[in-house]
Chain A
Amino acid sequence: MNGRQSALLTAGLAATLIAGVALSARLLVEAGTSADFTARNLAPALSHPFGTDQMGRDMLARSVTGLALSLRVGLMAAGLSVLLATFMAMVSGLGRQADRVAGFVTDAMLAMPHLMLLILLSFSLGGGTTAVIIAVAISHWPRLSRLLRAELLQVSVAPYVETSRALGRSRLFILRRHILPHLAPQMLVGFLLMFPHAILHEAGLTFLGFGLEPSRPAIGVMLSDAMRHISAGRWWLAFFPGAMLLCMVLAFEAMGSAARRLISPREAQC
């Protein structure tokens, strides 16, 4: 098996895991929210592999549905953020004057305290899933944008771009065929690093009361709830949702590095 094939296999496995979580969450919505007060605070056993919480809800079902919700929030927030960052980096590539304006906006965003901005945005948008997504997206693009800008400036003076211009290719062609594909791995890595970040911010905002409604089975809600029960010995309330979140993040990470190997063929052969 060569490098490309093993990378494809890893990416496929990770994608299957993620898709599996997203799909099984649809089947388990009922089980995750229905309370059974005869089965409260049960330790993990065959009937409830992840145990039950203080309201008798099955933790496996809750973890999976929570993960699917986090997945949605994380994907949307990180995706939007990467789009914003790419757009700003492209603006920087237009010319010196445009670069100055884009640089100023980026610096201004970076100068604002991160959590403050998140809370203000989420609060002013009225809370809930959409507000969290927008708040995370708006507050997280500048770092990636800086990275993409540096990469863009570097590739735009690469000999092969220069040659393309000499061969009579247009600016748009060069931007689409040479520069954007070159930025893709950075965008992907940025996206993957932003993903767990977005989920954690979702949990943080929810904990502070500016995020998701406490009734929703989100990983963030579950983890902050579980904090109160850990001292009572109910470790499964925090352990399983946390471990599943970790698996999900690792799956994304594996998918990202596999994709990077596929995108740059030279790396795939070593």
Chain B
Amino acid sequence: MLEARSVTIGVARRDLFRDLSLRLAPGKIMGLCGPSGSGKTTLGRVLAGLHPHRAGQILLDGLPIPRKGAHPVQYLAQAPLATMNPRWRVARVLAEAGCPEPDLVAAMSIDPDWLERFPHELSGGQLQRVSILRALTVRPRYLIADEITAPLDPISQARIWKALTDLAASHGIGILAISHDAALLGRIVTSGIEAIGARPA
């Protein structure tokens, strides 16, 4: 169980929200929606340990998340290109996380031909699949999928989410799906949609 217990999250001097609580169960997909600027991404980054929170606790199975080693909650960004070193070929980008398991490579349908290319030489959908494979390689317990299919065409979108829902079920990975797309969330979530409100203007 990944749990946020009455956390306060802020950017610069402003608090985005106070006392927010959230529970994500393993193997489940939870949706997170809210208007632009409401702090969905920041919440996702806090859960993945990329952004500090001001109060409250983030707990994994009731314990604080250890600082050492790969983070058990991996964050998937909307634009994966920026999360890859532009000087590295895809093979090296993937190797940074370790050696990916063959069944995961197959699940993400990664073409061996991509490995010799630079990240900017792949399309958005291909790049997102590489980024998901990299995150899965460190065997995370949870994934934060921040608008990962927003810029993609419906077919790539469906493919990626099909693979992720299968993985969530088979590997018991909990996924927090952040999206503006209510129709998409409606189809993939298995444990409800959390809505966070607009911040007071």
Contact = CB atoms under 8 A, between A and B. Distances in A.
Interface of A: 158-160, 162-164, 166-169, 177-178, 181-182, 263-266
B56 interface: no
B48 interface: yes
Contacts of B97: 167
A166 B71 contact: yes
Given A164-B96, A166-B49, A167-B134, A266 B71 contact: no
B85 interface: yes
B84 to A, nearest CB: 6
Interface centre among B49, B77, B83 (most CB of A within 10 A): B83
Contacts of A263: 87
21 contacts: A159-B82, A159-B83, A160-B83, A160-B86, A162-B83, A163-B83, A166-B48, A166-B50, A167-B74, A167-B96, A168-B69, A168-B71, A168-B138, A169-B96, A177-B85, A264-B86, A264-B87, A265-B87, A265-B118, A266-B86, A266-B118
A181 B96 contact: no
Interface in B37-77: 48-50, 68-71, 74-75, 77
A163 B71 CA distance: 10
B23 interface: no
Contacts of B48: 166
Contacts of A163: 75, 83-84
Contact of A266 (B49, B70, B120): B120
A266 B49 CA distance: 31
Interface of B: 48-50, 68-71, 74-75, 77, 82-87, 96-97, 118, 120, 134, 138
Contacts of B138: 167-168
A167 B70 contact: yes
B70 A181 contact: no
A266 B84 CA distance: 13
Contacts of B86: 160, 264-266
A256 to B, nearest CB: 17
B48 to A, nearest CB: 7
Contacts of A159: 77, 82-83
Nearest to A158: B82
B82 A166 contact: no
Nearest to A173: B96
Contacts of A181: 87
Contacts of A266: 86, 118, 120
B144 to A, nearest CB: 11
A7 to B, nearest CB: 15
A158 B96 CA distance: 16
A162 B76 CA distance: 12
B120 A160 contact: no
A168 B97 CA distance: 8
Contacts of A264: 86-87
A266 B134 CA distance: 22
Contacts of A166: 48-50, 70-71, 74-75
Contacts of B74: 166-167
A160 B85 contact: yes
A265 B83 CA distance: 17
Contacts of A182: 87
B174 to A, nearest CB: 17
A168 B50 CA distance: 12
A159 B75 CA distance: 11
Nearest to A182: B87
Nearest to B134: A167
Nearest to A184: B87
Contacts of A169: 96
Contacts of A160: 82-86
A121 to B, nearest CB: 37
Nearest to A268: B118
Given A166-B48, A168-B69, 9 more contacts: A159-B83, A160-B85, A162-B83, A163-B84, A167-B138, A168-B71, A266-B86, A266-B118, A266-B120
